[in-house]
Structure 1
Amino acid sequence: MEGMLPSGKKIPSLIGAAATFPRYNKRAGKVITLEMQVNSCIANALHGMPLSSDGPRMVALVTYLTDLSQGKPIKLQGASQ
């Protein structure tokens, strides 16, 4: 099905997603980058093989996600709204 994860859950909108990285991930106990999050989604939600963080496919995905965030405010964790 288009727009669905293998688990059957709907894929959330990626508009503005890049504006939330880097950010601290409490479960991982460290700051994660957009590239790290992309690989987490590929490996965990899509059950795929992670990409090289500086390879052409990762660069293309990060470029696309960053373009989707153009004009969106950067979301800093802990910042007052």
Structure 2
Amino acid sequence: MATQPQNDGPAFGGSISFSKVVDLSWPVHPGIPQWPGDPVVEFETVADIEEDGYFLRRFSMGEHSGTHLSAP
């Protein structure tokens, strides 16, 4: 039987606190910097219902595109 990994917080054993978040991200678009060989950035319109104000796009990109795609 497999066991579930334990996550008891940060690896150093303390808590994380901060007073300011600095977002260094750049807008995601097909022309963002790419490492050679990485997948291209692609956007696809999935739904566009103007009368309801609804618009949905799907995008695909490598995780190392631009300034990276990662959670804080």
Higher helix share: 1
TM over 0.5: no
Higher strand share: 2
Greater length-normalized contact order (CA 8 Å, ≥ 6 residues apart): 1
Larger radius of gyration: 2
Q: TM-score, normalised by structure 2?
A: 0.24
Q: TM-score, normalised by structure 1?
A: 0.23
